[in-house]
Structure 1
Amino acid sequence: MTTTIIGFPRIGEKRELKFATEHYWKKQLNQDELLQKAHEIKLAHWRAQQEAGIDLIPVGDFSFFDNFLDVANDLNIVSDRYRQLGLSKLDEYFAQARGYQDGDQTVKALPMKKWFNTNYHYIVSEFTPETHVQFNGQRLLDEIREAQAAGIDSIKAVFIGPYTLLKLARFVDGAKPSDFITDLVQAYQALLANLQELGVDYLQVDEPALTFDVSQQDQELFDQLYDQLLAQPTTVKVVLQTYFGDVRDVYQDLIQKPFAGIGLDLVEGQENWQLIEQYGFPTDKTLFAGVVNGKNIWRNHYQTTLQQLHQLPTEVPVVLNTSSSLLHVPYTVANENQLDQDVAQHLAFAIEKLHELSELAAIVAGRDGSEKYLEENQRLFADVKHPVNVAVQKRVEALRDDDYTRLSDRKTRIALQNEELDLPLFPTTTIGSFPQTADVRANRRQFKHHEISQEEYDQFNEDKIARIIRKQEELGLDVLVHGEYERNDMVEYFGEKLGGFVFTQNGWVQSYGSRAVKPPIIWGGC
């Protein structure tokens, strides 16, 4: 029973990549030093997967900012306004992600959007009529050579697929997806040729856009891309990887195409189980079964997963996989030494999920001693101690039907609001958050380190709030905001004000670039 993952968090165990890239942007590190730090991070992540017993290790999932942007650059999809800056390749890449300013010369960054149903944000690539797609992916090839030099033998190269690239990119000045099909096919064939030359056995092409509704026009686009791409003979096994849902619109087509393997999300994509049962799965392909949740932070229930795996046709080769990249969970629970053991034992971050895959594989294969994994897991789920807030339970039980009915209708409420607030027809305001400037962060850091008192901390924030309110009044805004200077993280701050949450020390999850969030964990309380 082989194991793999779709991708691994890249910010580092202690956010090393964040600090290195930010130091580079501030010119406190040179390019060679940044590349060396990136090499150390990648090496640590590959070693962690090896030590956990992962068989097929993804390479190409690392990124200085965003994988979607990486692939665009690997395919020469870079707008002229960035090329004309005359920067190094790395700085040109960062200019696309962050924008560029030097004196009077200013170039805006590419837009950013949410990555499906996660809190991650990707950089939206831009196609113009002048875009000339071709493979120049030295980034990926160099990373593969790094891994090979480090003794990583079982490599699975990772690359965003052409269909998802076209579906999520932006087309300007009259450009349209059909203009780039031929060049994209040739570019991906060049990618395969380079991988074959390097002796790489697997290429994972990520096509999460197949979990969207797929129209007839979309289906034709997908067919045009892959019927040509897969027509070229290659020793590289192409694995079509989907995640974030099911592929009900295209499943029958996928299993007919000559992919070596197909990766299905069997957690969020519950419909995929029914698709396999109804239409079968070809025995000449490998099913990369996404049974370990790549997005949540809870331990896998082995008995449930094993029962699901037994539903799969016995003659189909199966690789145990995560349901999505582990990019969306923190690094390891081992760094959470302030969490109660009752809570910590039920958490599984990226490192723990690697071990879950290995243990599940051992159980399925019936390896000696694997019974203890199942026994320990069963015992864990038999002993869950969520706190209970009796007062909240009593208030809920006391609710009556009329508690859900407003006392006045909308028309009456609007009249009262207009009278009370006396706002103009088009009031002005802002979203509410003002920048967490260096002095704000320093104030919070001093308070956390007990270098200043609660009173001093609060007074600093009150002064900042007073200043920003005066500024809004001077500007003539109608609805004032207080700037949220006391917040630490957009979610964590509010969680701290509520019961039923627990908080991590190092549970950082990348949001975009060097930015990460540390969400509170819902544990109980009602």
Structure 2
Amino acid sequence: MLKSSNLGYPRIGANREWKKTLEAYWAGKLDETQLTSQLENIRLDHLKLQLSKGIELIPVNDFSFYDHILDTSAMFGLVPERFSYEGGVVPFSTYYAMARGDKGAAACEMTKWFNTNYHYIVPELNGAAPTLTENRPLKAYQEAKEKLGIEGKPVLVGLYTFLKLSKGYEPDQIDDKIEQFLPIYTQIVQELAQEGVQWIQIDEPILVTSITKVDLERIRRIYTALHEAAPELNIMLQTYFEAVDHYEEIISLPVQGFGLDLVHGLEQNLQSIKKFGFPEGKTLGAGLIDGRNIWRSSLESPLQLLKELSEFVPYDRIVVQPSCSLLHVPVSTKPETALDPVLKEALAYADEKLDEIVLLVAAASGHEGVEEKLKNSRSAVEALNASQSRNRVEVRQAAANRDSQPSTRTSVFAKRQVSQQEKWQLPFLPTTTIGSFPQSPEIRKARQSFRKGDWSNEQYETFIEEQIQIWIKLQEEIGIDVLVHGEFERTDMVEFFGEKLNGFAFTLNGWVQSYGSRCVKPPVIYGDVEFIAPMTVKESIYAQSLTNKPVKGMLTGPLTILNWSFVRDDLPRNEVAFQIALALREEVEALEKAGIEMIQVDEPALREGLPLKKAKWDSYLEDSILAFRLSTSTVKDTTQIHTHMCYCEFHEMIDAIRALDADVISIETSRSHGELIHTFEESTYELGIGLGVYDIHSPRVPSVEEMVSMIDRALQVLDPALFWINPDCGLKTRGIEETVASLKHMVQATEIAREARSVAN
């Protein structure tokens, strides 16, 4: 009959034990033995919980010491030459240096995991040939079996996905890379088969992107070799995040199972099954529960879908599972005692999603005693849909009439730039930062005291003003040209705004991993989004009163708020984006009215919402451009609109970024500076731009010489008159000393660049 399965469990722990353990180790409070022991306890607790829920196929090797792609690189001994590594199992010191950098070497590049907000460490393949340093899936399987009696399902990143996500080789070298890595993959599966492993989950999410017929031939070669190496091992070829385009070719591969996303890729995947059927004797991993969002399922739709699937695949060859790893959702709703009961009942985090999977299997299998649970699920969803928060008529109408709203600046950029330079009189190569400054333990403690009610509003505001004073003075002393107030009143760049808008809710423990130990607590957009009152004006006015230099107003853009939130699933996402955009426009206008006429509307997450299939890009980008311009187009010519983007493959969307019509864009590029510069060798960008000159994700303080080199390289292809100097991103997570030192170096590097060009001219 039907079986239940999971694809991956959140690493962070119910109370972020994982995060705290890593950070204690980095701070020198734990040694390697203590680190290993504590992480093992967390890992085993996660396995025991899934077992207690009734999950039959429990994933192992989905746990990580930082990132699963970095784990895979380390397993293959892929350590760049700049790190000291002499072969064998990669030590923790080297492993974490690759992720975070150290005094002698810059960290490896980090970028988004497909279209999610999770970041992975990009493998570098231009060093030594790969070798199997340790069979991590095998070790994870042995641990689960020996210590818990669990017959686990090892998880392994697929070879083709791993190569496509790597850097350090030319596209025409991929066949050579396959030949290098394939013997290692065959060794892994052979050792798993010899150990008696029944199923292995090989993740190939690259298969849902726009791949070619040549790609398919390579994939066939890979899986034919794996099958021949271990014919007795059942391989579940797992896809997620979208539908498979080349369905007919994929299901002909010599593997025993195919995992399909039947939530985000439902329509196309289901049509493919109905058109081409499903191979006899193979198992379907049916991703029926949304692994990327937090909403409870009424279960009626997935139950009906199971019935439809049973016409093509018998129940004894269907495995019910989430649409993807549960890495992307929080752990449990149990701590959410402060939420409105109607909303809380409509939520499902990782633990509740496991319950839904088990309930689906029971209901579809005709087990008794499930009717009441199914009724409760349906009632919870219906109650939220009927709530007033989801039925604000004026908000719905305004978003629907978006085409009649202003979405174009009064003048073109060339004219605006002249007006803005006359107004601001900025120096050549102006310097600025992205917005936030270090959130010290003192700041976090103050915020906690205020939220608990131990501090009055007056006490807290006085404290925030003191921090603003300190950092305005510091910025002036360092010599930065365009200042920021530091965002000390903000816990998170999305949460802060959501707390001040209608339609948002905030959880107590809804943490998810963003990168490494960095966890975020996304807001929940559960209702119609509506502006209430100015959100940032007070702090911005105060900061500007302390200096004669311009201070930027700092807002988070509509697409980033959308993409970094858990978004209601009863409306199209673009409708929600337009609601947010119209609310933000009122804030932009309030800032301008208050005399804040440099306004940064950050869109670091714009690209991560980009559909995985290029055929869908145009529609998403058109909506994104419109949403941004709805937010920013009603200001005067002299009001300078800035924006910021993170790890953006600029070459893929340069036209769309240009169409945002922001006066200045800053881009997070220090870990992939050369690749971005190459884009400008082929394309002209005629608006203001700042390429991040140092990596803020590392505690390392870069030298002046490094920054000068980055500036010089950029100015070979960009107009110096339009170029800004800035760090990669906000500085909230950095220490005070390293931040001040790095910014001083940045200003010194700018002065050198200015002088060099002054002499040259």
Shared fold per TM-score greater than 0.5:
yes
> In structure 2, what residue type is equivalent to 1:277?
K
Give 1:409 shift: 4.4
1:324-403 matches, within 5 Å, as 324-384=324-384, 385-388=386-389, 392-393=394-395, 396=398, 403=405
* Structure 1, unaligned runs of 5 or more: none
Count of residue pairs brought into register by the alignment: 520
Q: Aligned partners of 1:398 and 1:215: how far apart in 2?
A: 38
Q: Aligned partners of 2:393 and 2:274: how far apart in 1?
A: 47
Shift in CA distance, 193/399, structure 1 to aligned 2, threshold 3 Å? closer
RMSD: 2.6
1:95-494 matches, within 5 Å, as 95-101=97-103, 106-128=104-126, 130-171=127-168, 176-248=173-245, 250-270=246-266, 271-314=268-311, 316=313, 317-384=317-384, 385-388=386-389, 392-393=394-395, 396=398, 403-404=405-406, 408-410=410-412, 417-423=420-426, 427-494=430-497
Q: Aligned partners of 1:373 and 1:402: how far apart in 2?
A: 46
**More moved, 73-82 vs 289-298:** 73-82
Q: Aligned partners of 2:396 and 2:253: how far apart in 1?
A: 58
Asked if 2 retains the 8 angstrom alpha-carbon contact of 1:491 and 1:520, the reply is yes
Give 1:520 shift: 1.0
Question: Which residue number corresponds to residue 90 of structure 1?
Answer: 92
Asked if 1 retains the 8 angstrom alpha-carbon contact of 2:122 and 2:165, the reply is yes
* Structure 2, unaligned runs of 5 or more: 530-761
- Percent identity between matched residues is 41
Question: Which residue number corresponds to residue 71 of structure 2?
Answer: 70
Shift in CA distance, 10/82, structure 1 to aligned 2, threshold 3 Å? same
> In structure 2, what residue type is equivalent to 1:461?
I
Q: Aligned partners of 2:441 and 2:379: how far apart in 1?
A: 48
Residues 192-244 of structure 1 show CA distances to partners (whole Å, capped at 9, x for unaligned) of 12212322111111011111110234233323322322222432101110111
* Paired residue secondary structure (1:383): helix
* Paired residue secondary structure (1:70): helix
* Paired residue secondary structure (2:229): coil
> In structure 2, what residue type is equivalent to 1:327?
L
**More moved, 180-189 vs 445-454:** 445-454
Q: Aligned partners of 2:400 and 2:286: how far apart in 1?
A: 46
Q: Aligned partners of 1:127 and 1:72: how far apart in 2?
A: 9
Asked if 2 retains the 8 angstrom alpha-carbon contact of 1:386 and 1:525, the reply is no
Give 1:393 shift: 4.4
Give 1:275 shift: 1.2
Asked if 2 retains the 8 angstrom alpha-carbon contact of 1:429 and 1:478, the reply is yes
**More moved, 466-475 vs 173-182:** 173-182
Shift in CA distance, 142/406, structure 1 to aligned 2, threshold 3 Å? closer
Shift in CA distance, 478/347, structure 1 to aligned 2, threshold 3 Å? same
Q: Aligned partners of 1:415 and 1:303: how far apart in 2?
A: 60
Q: Aligned partners of 1:397 and 1:285: how far apart in 2?
A: 46
> In structure 1, what residue type is equivalent to 2:113?
W
Which of 1 and 2 has higher RCO (CA within 8 Å, sep 6+)? Answer: 1
1:507 matched to 2:503: no
Shift in CA distance, 393/495, structure 1 to aligned 2, threshold 3 Å? closer
Give 1:66 shift: 0.2
> In structure 2, what residue type is equivalent to 1:96?
M
TM-score by structure 1 length? 0.92
**More moved, 73-82 vs 46-55:** 73-82
Shift in CA distance, 403/191, structure 1 to aligned 2, threshold 3 Å? closer
Asked if 2 retains the 8 angstrom alpha-carbon contact of 1:114 and 1:120, the reply is yes
Give 1:395 shift: 8.4
Asked if 1 retains the 8 angstrom alpha-carbon contact of 2:295 and 2:347, the reply is yes
TM-score by structure 2 length? 0.64
Shift in CA distance, 407/353, structure 1 to aligned 2, threshold 3 Å? closer
Shift in CA distance, 427/387, structure 1 to aligned 2, threshold 3 Å? farther
Give 1:64 shift: 1.3
**More moved, 1-10 vs 391-400:** 391-400
Give 1:286 shift: 0.4
Give 1:46 shift: 1.0
Q: Aligned partners of 1:19 and 1:77: how far apart in 2?
A: 27
* Paired residue secondary structure (2:431): coil
Q: Aligned partners of 1:510 and 1:457: how far apart in 2?
A: 29
Q: Aligned partners of 1:415 and 1:108: how far apart in 2?
A: 39
* Paired residue secondary structure (2:111): strand
* Paired residue secondary structure (2:116): coil
Give 1:16 shift: 0.3
Q: Aligned partners of 1:351 and 1:398: how far apart in 2?
A: 37
Give 1:65 shift: 0.4
Asked if 1 retains the 8 angstrom alpha-carbon contact of 2:201 and 2:238, the reply is yes
Q: Aligned partners of 1:397 and 1:83: how far apart in 2?
A: 55
Asked if 1 retains the 8 angstrom alpha-carbon contact of 2:79 and 2:85, the reply is no
Asked if 1 retains the 8 angstrom alpha-carbon contact of 2:141 and 2:151, the reply is no
> In structure 2, what residue type is equivalent to 1:82?
F
Residues 344-395 of structure 1 show CA distances to partners (whole Å, capped at 9, x for unaligned) of 0000000000000000000110012222332222333332253348695498
